Amino acid sequence: MASVFKRGGKNNRGGYWYVSWFDHSGRRRSKCAKTTDKATAEQIARKLETEAAKRREGLIDPRQEAFAREAKRPIAELVAEYKAKLVANGRTERYIAEAIGYVERIAKAEGIGTATELTAERVAHYAAQLSDQGKSARTMQAVIGAAKSFTKWLVKCGKLPRDPLAGVSKPSPASDRKYRRRMLLPDEWPLLRAATVAGPQRYGLTGAERALLYQSAIQTGLRASELRSLTRRSVVFNATQPYIRLEAAHAKNGKAASQQIDQALAELLRAHVANKLPTAALFALPHITNLARMIRDDLEAARKAWIDEANDDVEEVNRRQQSDFLAVAHHDGRVLDFHSLRHTCGAWLALSGMHVKTVQSVMRHSTITLTMDAYGHLLPGAEAEAADRLGEMISLTARIDDAEENIVRMTGTDGQSAQRLAQQLGREMGPKPASPCEGNWARLVVADGDQALIDSEKPSRIAPLEHAVRLGTMVSPLAAPLAQLAEQLTLNQ
């Protein structure tokens, strides 16, 4: 039963009335009616009591009421809560600034005041404007991705009943890439390093410091923001293999990493930090916009020195001037900037023949697909090796089929009978061959002593024959021809 009352007793006779009632969950609630008229307060109390009864009976959905309340809130308040969630999750400052900035720009450009106004049509309209402005597919992907993450959070937190951007797809950067990076060629690095060391101070770094920075970036694959976070104590010299330690708070994926380096780079870094405090920055990197300018200036100096070496040969000078060697931008549109040093790390690993899983680990890619998409085309001989292995498997299958035909011809039995006979001989005269229960890999002995593994869900058809050969003497009349056949198959492999 709802009731009305005043607080403050006789001293508040002219004050507001309060109402008290039980909500749909059975909890007693009270609130100020904000009226000095008792009859009005009683009407408010009866209304609240009636609504509570309807909720208990399922006539009013409390979730829909919550959605309605959230729909009236300004989107700026929701964005502020979303930002707090990103901070609590340990996202980097750069990530938060970009994610929140994209959502705020969409809201401002499209005149969005509440979350319910953030529709797929308005986001698509904003993306179309970006396209008209010449923005790349990668930029539009980042903008749409930020908006989709925001609406997913709204649904998860009960602020929207459904995701309005669930059907919106992000464009593929590969379809319209405006900015394509190139790697630094292995032959370019010695010349770049020499020109950098001999060059003047640029953006607060000496030539030797810049060369050491470039070398560290190539060998570790760290990003500019990650290199900026490193301190003197980030470099571990006394380990069996020296490494650079990256804290999780500064990693793009939010995971700590230890990037190993060779002894030569470790000694250079040791001399570099000899007079630095443990908390001092490892490298005094300039602003992000000047990093690309810095390495391009050094690359242009290296190219100029390389061309000047051929001054006495006019034809050679013309050839070098027309080539892409040490050029900031290649004729195919690929350019070199500071982030290209990370790309160089992965590319050189792939070119050196490193296993793709090793490349993924060094580059700290989330999936092997990302690694293969970026560097799979650089893996030397991968297609040829695959073709050779397929050919070996085809040849092996043909030899097994020939074995069955020979067994039928010699024994007068079908393939299944010959198989059962060979298995019986193996059971009678030696250890039991590998079965599916002992593993799905059946081993085949080949002539050169290596072992080829065939993945199979049933025992290898040739395994019992191989056992018979190794056992030696057989008592069955069919033992000799079977043993000769198995030996022939083994040697042919």
- For 292-340, the pLDDT digits (tens) are 999 999 999 999 999 999 888 889 999 999 999 999 999 888 999 999 9
Contact indicator for 418, 407 with CB cutoff of 8 Å: yes
Report the alpha-carbon distance of residue 208 to residue 217 in Å, rounded: 14
Residue 26 belongs to a domain: yes
Choose the weakest-confidence range: 142-151, 243-252, 400-409, 465-474. Answer: 465-474
Residues 468 and 408 in one domain: yes
- Mean pLDDT taken over the chain: 80
Contact indicator for 118, 164 with CB cutoff of 8 Å: yes
Determine the distance from the C-alpha atom of residue 393 to the mean position of all C-alpha atoms in its chain, rounded to a whole number: 34
Residues 117 and 220 in one domain: no
Segment of 50-59, 71-80, 367-376, 484-493 carrying the highest mean pLDDT: 71-80
Residue 363 belongs to a domain: no
Q: What's residue 113's pLDDT? A: 92
Mean of pLDDT values over 370-381: 74
Domain edge (last residue) among 342, 368, 394: 342
Residues 322 and 400 in one domain: no
Mean of pLDDT values over 209-220: 96
Residues 192 and 305 in one domain: yes
Domain total of the chain? 4
Q: Which two tokens stand for residue 120?
A: 């797929």
Choose the weakest-confidence range: 108-122, 414-428, 434-448. Answer: 434-448
The closest of 414, 343, 402, 349 to 180, measured between CA atoms, is 343
Q: Please, which pLDDT band fits residue 407 given cuts at 50, 70 and 90?
A: low
Contact indicator for 317, 311 with CB cutoff of 8 Å: yes
The closest of 459, 458, 444 to 489, measured between CA atoms, is 444
| Whether pLDDT at 388 is above 50 | yes
Contact indicator for 276, 219 with CB cutoff of 8 Å: no
| Whether pLDDT at 229 is above 80 | yes
Three-class DSSP category at 259: strand
Residues 244 and 108 in one domain: no
Residues 445 and 420 in one domain: yes
Determine the distance from the C-alpha atom of residue 13 to the mean position of all C-alpha atoms in its chain, rounded to a whole number: 67
The closest of 413, 470, 417 to 443, measured between CA atoms, is 470
Range of the domain at 13: 3-60
The closest of 262, 251, 189, 185 to 224, measured between CA atoms, is 251
Three-class DSSP category at 355: coil
Q: What's residue 411's pLDDT? A: 56
Domain edge (last residue) among 41, 60, 79: 60
Residues 130 and 251 in one domain: no
